[in-house]
Amino acid sequence: MTDSSQFITFNPSESKDTRSGFGAALLELGTTHPEVVALCADLTGSLKMGDFRDAHPDRFFQVGIAEANMISMAAGMTIGGKIPFTGTFANFSTGRVYDQIRQSVAYSEKNVKICASHAGLTLGEDGATHQILEDIGMMKMLPNMTVICPADYAQTRQATLAIADIQGPVYLRFGRPKLPVFYKDNAPFKIGKAQKLMVGDDITIIATGYMVWEAIQAGLILRDQGIHADVINMHTIKPLDSKAIIESASRTGLVVTAEEHQRWGGLGGSVAQVLAEHHPTQMSMVAVDDRFGESGTPKQLMEKYGLTADVIVARSLELIAQKK
């Protein structure tokens, strides 16, 4: 596990949306990787793919509202040596095209990078039909698929650059709203290697994506109460850093997971499986509890569905009390 505590700031000076980190990296890849092509399903602005389109018009393909066709086109392009990056909302990137992903990309082991914005409840006002909360589970179950859920703008940029250099299918999940940019520019990033952001022996908090910042805030609140948490950013859901989970759980004896996803099939389920097989540990999952989303602001929805630092703190204190 990478110890990245020195590569983050607890008082970030700016907030950016993670989708902009994807757009910035895609533009960089246009220069450094001539084999990279981009496909978009009529959401160029929302996916921040406009700069790549303008810089490399011959390598950008606007397929319209035809997501299944986009995935099939991308799979075909890999045969000619291209590295296709597809872009649309997470709901359309997975739920609408699961058959094409399973058959043409995962089963065929095609080098397609499925890049999905507007994931989870923080999509906000568009409501339940667009707020997919099952995509991590759907994608991690596919053989050959790598699943990555970065934590902020800077890490989304790093992850986008990194997936261009690995062979095989990737699902990259990021979001719509702005959130604090807490990773420094020189922070390390390695696919499949978790990052420890705070160090402690009392409890382990493992988070992914949007919830990493909430986990950091929970860690700070607990520290003020004399409780020291191991806070881990599990940015790669598959391959999962099992070693990092076991190492931390073996010291603390308690684990809380946090994710903007259904509790069934997401990060929490993956962590629970590792612990059940290698180091049985008391744990609690902060996630959406078998419900669909609804329309509202991201802040309203995260509070209503219990995806906040305060809830992580409450679950942590409950586990510590049970242990005592």
Q: Is residue 203 within 8 Å of residue 320, measured between CB atoms?
A: yes
Is residue 67 annotated as part of the catalytic site, yes or no? Answer: yes
Query: Which tokens go with 117?
Result: 């914005």
Distances (CA, A) of 253 to 23, 75, 237, 277, 312: 40, 44, 22, 15, 16
CA distance 195 to 4: 6
Question: What is the chain's alpha carbon radius of gyration, rounded to the nearest angstrom?
Answer: 19
Residue 71 exposure: Cα atoms within 13 Å on the Cβ side: 25
Q: Give the burial class of 99: count Cβ atoms within 10 A of its Cβ; 0-12 exposed, 13-18 middle, 19 or more buried.
A: exposed
Name the active-site residue from 14, 28, 67, 125: 67
**Active-site annotation, residues:** 67
